Amino acid sequence: MVGCGFEGLTCSHYLSRLGYQVALLDEATDYRKTEVFTKHKDLPDEVKQRELSDIMLPSTEFKGNFIIKDANQLTELSSNYHAVYITKQLEGKRPENGLAQRLKNVVVETTDLSDPKNSCKVAYAIEKGRKAAMKIHFLLQKEKQYQASALKPEAG
């Protein structure tokens, strides 16, 4: 997970519940200092702390001080993890414009929560995170089935 906003946290929670080990990568130094806290003042911090404690399962690891700076870093992420979900932009450019489409199991999604027209913006971001978790799970299961079929000896 690159980015620990509502989308990334939701996606990581669902993947953790499905049994995956998840790494949350964010520019914040602590998951309690992510954009959920700094940009969204609609809930008291105590409520956010409690909710984040429920979301962060033992199979989820937070890695702070992480920023995607270039395409090489994105390629490295793709080779180090089974799947990558990107909720942040790559230095002002959307990663799906080229490189991310060519990498294996990279899902890119960005929700602009600053749009005042979207009155349900947090719910929308959470829904996108849940859908991304389902997509990643499907991709990983498909890859697992392919690998299993490739290992089966041919009947003869």
Residue 118, domain member (yes or no)? yes
Q: How many CB atoms lie within 10 A of CB 153?
A: 5
Residue 156, domain member (yes or no)? no
Q: Which residues form the domain of 108?
A: 6-151
Count of domains observed in the chain: 1
User: pLDDT tens, 98-151?
Assistant: 555 556 666 666 555 455 454 556 667 777 888 888 888 888 888 888 777 777
Residue 32, domain member (yes or no)? yes
CATH number at residue 23: 3.50.50.60
Q: CA separation (Å) from 55 to 8, 61, 71, 113?
A: 11, 12, 30, 20
Residue 84, domain member (yes or no)? yes
Collapsed DSSP state (helix, strand, coil) of residue 156: coil
User: pLDDT tens, 115-126?
Assistant: 545 455 666 777
pTM of this structure: 0.73
Cβ pair 85, 132 in contact under 8 A: yes
